[in-house]
Amino acid sequence: SPSPSPSTSLASADSRSLLACPSKSAQPGTASISLAKGSAQPSPSSSPPSAPQLQPFNASQPPESPHVLTHIDESGNASMVNVSHKPSTPRSATATATVLLGHDAYTALAQGQTTKGDVLAVSRVAGILAAKRTSELIPLCHPLLLSHVSVDFELKPETNAVVIFSTASCAGGTGVEMEAMTAASVSALTVYDMCKAASKSIEITELRLLSKSGGKSGEWRAQPRGDAHGPTKS
């Protein structure tokens, strides 16, 4: 067969060179050419997915919707809410938590036989102390001058449980829901600590807000559920 002419050989060599060496002007993210046979299709440029858009919020103004997250500013950053424009009004909140002790630990608590002493007395003081230090535990909470904190207990022998009710109140520009819930949670943890020698399977459940009053949103009460119906003081 006749040998290819010099011009034909040079053209073939130039074509191979172009395919093997990408253009120096190619920019990252532009389409590329696959050298595999039958797949010389441009591959789409890959770009990172766009970040979700957060709803802007002006922290110096009250939210128009109750569903706006007030601890997020217009840039999407965590923000301590400015409450300087809010009037000082009486505010109160009550929270609850339930400690499921089991038979052995409940019997020890009810009969005063725990090795660490008076479970309910220590847990009450722990809850009150925790309420006063809520702003040191929850980063964006405001330090509040609390007027009153109470922690009460209800023993439930039929379920071997202790139900805790905590109430916090103040006169100020922001609510005391977190103070009440912090008191209930730390009180429950203290019950666990005081009784763990009798059982390691103690459970803390049903930590939630029961009611709040004061402020722009006024009165609010949770729907009744289980034993969380209010305190029977002990």
Query: What's the 3-state SS for 57-92?
Result: CCCCCCCCCCCCCCCECCCCCECCCCCCCCCCEEEE
In angstroms, the CA 175 to CA 211 distance is 11
- Candidate list 118, 152, 193, 227, residue with the active-site label: 193
Residues 116 and 210 sit within 8 Å (Cβ to Cβ): no
CA dist 181 → 51, 64, 138, 166, 220 (Å): 34, 26, 11, 7, 15
- Going through the chain in order, the beta strands assigned E by DSSP cover 89-100, 146-156, 161-172, 203-213, 220-221
Active site residue 73: no
In angstroms, the CA 168 to CA 108 distance is 30
Closest CA to 133 of 152, 149, 113: 149
Residues with active-site annotation = 193
